[in-house]
Amino acid sequence: MRVHIDQEKCCGAGSCVLSAPEVFDQREEDGIVVLLDAAPPAELHDAVHEAAAICPAAAISVEQVERV
Amino acid sequence: MTTAERIDMERATGTAERPAALAVPAARADGCPFDPAPGVERARREDPVTRATLWDGSSCWLVTRHQDVREVLGDPRFSADATRPGFPFLTAGAREIVGSNPIFIRQDDPDHARLRRMLTADFMVKKVEALRPEVQRIADELLDRMTDGRTSADLVAEFALPLPSLVICLLLGVPYEDHEFFQERSRILLSLRSAAEEVRTASDELQDYLIRLAESKRQRPDDGIVSRLVARGELDSTDIASMGRLLLVAGHETTANMTALSTLTLLRNPEQLARLRNDPSLIKGAVEELLRYLTIVHNGLPRIATEDVTLGGATIRAGEGVLCTINTANRDEDVFPGGDTLDVGRDARRHVAFGFGVHQCLGQPLARVELQIALETLLRRLPELRLDIPFEDVPFRHDMGIYGVHALPIAW
C-alpha cells in the first residue's frame, strides 16, 4: 500500500488521526495533515482505508502496490 | 415516476403542473422524538432527490441519502455562499443577517479556507486530547455541585450546558460570567420561531460584545483564541468578532444538546445503557453512534448549485438551492444496516453528523472529547440515574435549529 495526501485539499478535521494515528498526524502550526508512514504495514491497511473513506475533503488516496 | 423525472419532463414539455413538494422543516411523528420526520424518511426511501418547499414559499432540492449527501457536500460546484441569489434559508432570521458580518461557514474557498486555517490548529486532535484533564475537572466540579445534598436536578441547566460553555469560554478567552448574555442570544439565533428583527438584534449584540472583547485583548492579551487572532494582525476586530460569534454559539449549543439528548436516549434504551456501563471502553464508539442516531443538526445543511449537476437521476440547475438532510443520511440502510436502532457497538464512523466536505465541523475533536467525558462521568458517578418526569412530558426542541431537549429533569 502507498498512501498519498493532498495538503492543499485538507481542511484539518482530524478524522484521519483518529482512525490511523500511526500513519497520519496534524501540523503544529495549522492542523493540516502530515503523513507519518507512506507505506504502512498490512495490519494498518483497514484503518488507512477507513481514514481515506471518511476524509471530508478527499485529501487522502490509497494506491495498492503489487508485492514483488 | 420520481420527482426528478417528473420535473425533467415538465422542463422538456414546459406544461405539466408543479408536483406537490414536501414542506420543510417537516414535523416529526408523535411518539417518535428520536426519528427524522416521516415525510423526509419516505423521500429517502422512495424519491431520494426531491423537491421541497421552505417557510417563505420558495422551493429547493432535498437530498436525503448518505451517498448523495456526501457528493453534494464534497463537490465545490455546490456553494455555501449565502449571498448568492436563490440560497435556501431555513428561517427568516437566517436570511435577515446574511449580508452583515459574514462567517466562513457561509463562504467558499479560498476565503473560507484562509479563515478556517487560522483556527484549525486550535481544534486539532492532539491539542484537544491535551485538554482532557481540564474537561474532566470541569465535569467533576459540575457534578459535585449538582449532587451536593440533592437527589434531582435539571441536567441541561446544571451539567449539559455549562460544561461546553465553560470549555469554549476558556478556549476563546470569553469571560464565563457573561454566559447568560451569550446563551440567551444563542437561543434567539437558533430558534425557528424568532422574528427576523429579533435575530438581527441578537446577532448585532453578540457581534458588538465580541468586538469589545477583541479590543480589550489588544490592551490585555491572553492565551485565548480571540487574543491570538488579534495578535496575528491579519484581521480587524469585526472579522475576529464574526469568528468568535461562530465558535461561541456552535461551541456550546451543539455539545450541550448532544449530551442531554444522548443521556435521555440511553435511559430509553436500557440494554444499550447497561452495555456501556459494563464496558466503558465502548464510549468512543458509543459517542459516534449517538452522533449518527441523533444528528441534532436536524433540518439539513443548505447549499446552492453554481453549475448544472446530475444527482440521483435529477438535474439540479445552476442557481437552485439544495438542502442536505444529514439526519436521514445517517439512517440510510445501505450504510448503516438496522439504522433506526441504536447500537453502541456499531462502527458508525461514516456518519455525517458533522457534515462532510471542506465545511465539516471544525470543532469535532473537541465535541468528541467533551461528549466522551460528559457521558462516561455521568454514567459512572450516577449509577441510579433516571428520568424524573414522564417521558411524554420531556420538552423536545422541535422549535430549534439544533435539536435536543429544553430541560431534562433527572433523579439519582
pLDDT 10s digits, B161-188: 999 999 999 999 999 999 999 999 999 9
Q: Quick: pLDDT tens for B116-157.
A: 999 999 999 999 999 999 999 999 999 999 999 999 999 999
Q: Mean of the pLDDT values across residues B237-258?
A: 95
3-state secondary structure (DSSP) of residue B268: helix
When pLDDT is cut at 50, 70 and 90, the band that residue B348 belongs to is very high
Cβ separation of A14 and B117 shorter than 8 Å?
no
As a whole number of angstroms, the distance between CA B398 and CA B394 comes to: 11
Average pLDDT over residues B271-276: 98
Q: Is A36's Cβ below 8 Å from some Cβ in B?
A: no
Contacts of B137 (CB under 8 A, 6+ apart): none
Looking from the CA of A44 toward its CB, the CA atoms found within 13 Å total 22
- Interface ipTM: 0.95
Residue A11 burial (10 A CB sphere; 0-12, 13-18, 19+): buried
CB contact (8 A) between residue B365 and residue A18: yes
In angstroms, rounded to a whole number, what is the distance separating the alpha carbons of residues B19 and B123? Answer: 45
**Is A27 part of the contact surface with chain B (CB cutoff 8 Å)?**
yes
What gap in Å lies between CA B151 and CA B312, rounded to an integer? 53
Q: Which of B73, B121, B360 sits opposite A29 (nearest CB)?
A: B121
* Cβ within 8 Å, pair B350-A18: no
Chain A positions touching B350 (Cβ under 8 A) are: 53-54
Mean pLDDT of all residues in chain B? 95
**Class in CATH terms, B3-411:** mainly alpha
Name the more confident of B13 and B394.
B394
* Cβ atoms within 10 Å, residue B393: 8
Averaged pLDDT for residues B48-70 = 97
Paired residues of B405 in beta bridges = B396
Cα B397 to Cα B187: distance, rounded to the nearest angstrom: 11
Confidence of residue B257 (pLDDT cuts 50, 70, 90): very high
Residue B404 pLDDT grade (very low, low, confident, very high; cuts 50, 70, 90): very high
- Please, which pLDDT band fits residue B99 given cuts at 50, 70 and 90? confident
Q: Is A14 on the interface with B (CB under 8 A)?
A: yes
- Name every chain B residue with its beta carbon within 8 A of the beta carbon of A11: 113, 116, 120, 358-360
Asked if pLDDT for residue B267 goes beyond 70, the answer is yes
Give the position of cell 500511526: A22
CB contact under 8 A, A26 and B126: yes
Residue A26 is nearest to which of B113, B124, B354, comparing CB atoms? Answer: B124
C-alpha cell at A17: 488521526
Q: Does A54 touch chain B (CB under 8 A)?
A: yes
One-character DSSP codes across B15-50: -SPPPPPEESSPPPPTT-TTSPPHHHHHHHHH-SEE
Q: Which residues pair with B59 in a beta bridge?
A: B53
**How is chain B split into domains, by residue range?**
3-411
Distance CA B72, CA B60 (A): 14
pLDDT at residue B198 greater than cutoff 50: yes
Cell of B42: 419516505
Tell me if B360 and A18 make a contact (CB, 8 A cut-off): no
Tens digit of pLDDT for each residue in B311-339?
999 999 999 999 999 999 999 999 999 99
Identify the pLDDT of residue B123.
97
Are B168 and B207 a contacting pair, CB within 8 Å? Answer: no
Query: Could you report the per-residue pLDDT of A10-43, keeping only the tens digit for each?
Result: 999 999 999 999 999 999 999 999 999 999 999 9
CA distance A23 to chain B (A): 14
Question: What CATH number has the domain spanning A2-63?
Answer: 3.30.70.20
Q: What is the pLDDT of residues B7-36, one digit of tens each?
A: 555 555 544 444 568 999 999 999 999 999
In sequence order, the 6+-apart residues with CB closer than 8 A to the CB of B13 are none
Please tell me what DSSP assigns to residue B157.
Answer: I
Chain B residues with CB within 8 Å of chain A CB = 73-74, 113, 116-117, 120-127, 349-350, 354-362, 364-365, 368
Please list every residue in chain B whose beta carbon sits closer than 8 Å to the beta carbon of residue A25: 126
CA pair distance B380, B134, nearest whole angstrom: 18
